[in-house]
Structure 1
């Protein structure tokens, strides 16, 4: 719980800076790029999170990797995480930042699960329908689950829309069992 609160605190800090500079999207991309780059080398996050490693050594690594790649504020934010021994929170911070940024820009994230991969045309149709229903811009996060048999399940926040064959079969089963 403490880690979630700390991640929120740090993500809120970089979010406010990005908002002041009108660079919500850019900072989000940079944070994601830094996270992905570091996660591509499994030992990197462990190294940067290890309290036994000197901060100067960690900062030297970050300097070699990101000083010329990231904006000054995002780069210094990563250095701050090293100074405060919070680098292990980077994945949670980037997720929280994305949520704050999306909220500020009026974007909803919809987790869309289908039995097989949705085509571009289907993705566009789903996004348009959800935008019409919610009145906001919707970005899809796609998932596959063969157990659905067919159809789609959409999750936006705590709201769930089950239009899957498996969901309909489960509802039918409940109704039949209730009538016994």
Structure 2
């Protein structure tokens, strides 16, 4: 897919530049803020992504809205994306950058789903335990999912650690489905 190729190319370029200039953390914050702004402000997104609005107008509005809040590297990078007509891939590029940044800084993004909101103390214990196991700093994103019934699910990348009651019930159901009917005494 073109967005993956564009994201990899531009994500790597801005990552390497930020790293060389010693502004990796600043650029990471800038790009995260930009992605959130574009996602939340529909008019801003529509302006940046609209194919018929000329590049100079896009850059002018871009600078008016976020120009003072971001570093020179981020500002110049986004203007390049506008010039190259790649600004519509901003979300994908930021995601690629974040993966590179997290790997360089040994940060692991983990999603924790539970049936109820967990106490902060328990979240911290889970964070510390996962950090001990993985050797990474854990960035924990929590959510309440009442379908879990009890327990929790941890998602790291494409792996899921299922410690939920719902998960256990599904395992039992699969086991029961595999038992031949004749063994259950039903004819």
TM bucket, shorter chain: over 0.9
Alignment partner, residue 141 of structure 2: 141
Residue 119 of structure 1 corresponds to 119
Match of 1:3 in 2: 3
Structure 1 window deviating more from structure 2 (117-126 vs 34-43): it is 34-43
2:109 and 2:72 map into 1 onto residues whose CA distance is: 29
* Structure 2 spans left out of the alignment, 5+ residues: 181-187
TM-fit CA distance, 1:120: 1.3
Count of residues paired in the alignment = 180
Structure 1 unmatched runs, 5+: none
Q: What CA distance in whole angstroms lies between the structure 2 residues aligned with 1:126 and 1:138?
A: 9
CA contact 1:45–1:87 (8 Å) conserved in 2: no
TM-score scaled by structure 1? 0.93
SS of equivalent to 2:155:
strand
Give the match for residue 92 of structure 2: 92
TM-score by length of structure 2 reads: 0.90
Q: Which residue of structure 1 lines up, in the alignment, with residue 110 of structure 2?
A: 110
1:36 — aligned with what? 36
Alpha-carbon offset, residue 48 of structure 1: 0.9
Q: How many angstroms does 1:37 deviate by? A: 2.4
Q: 1:40 to 1:158 in 2, by over 3 A?
A: closer
> SS of the counterpart of 2:51?
coil
The CA deviation string for residues 15-46 of structure 1, in whole angstroms up to 9 with x for no partner, is 11111123222111111112222333202112
Q: Secondary structure at the match of 2:68?
A: coil
CA distance in 1, matches of 2:7, 2:146: 34
SS in structure 2 opposite 1:65? Answer: helix
Aligned to 2:157: 157
CA distance in 2, matches of 1:38, 1:177: 48
SS at match of 2:163: strand
Deviation at 1:74, TM superposition (A): 0.4
Confirm whether residue 69 of structure 1 aligns to residue 69 of structure 2: yes
Say which SS state the counterpart of residue 51 (structure 1) adopts.
coil
Task: Determine the C-alpha separation between the residues in 2 that align with 1:81 and 1:118.
Answer: 41
CA distance in 2, matches of 1:61, 1:16: 27
Partner of residue 50, structure 1:
50
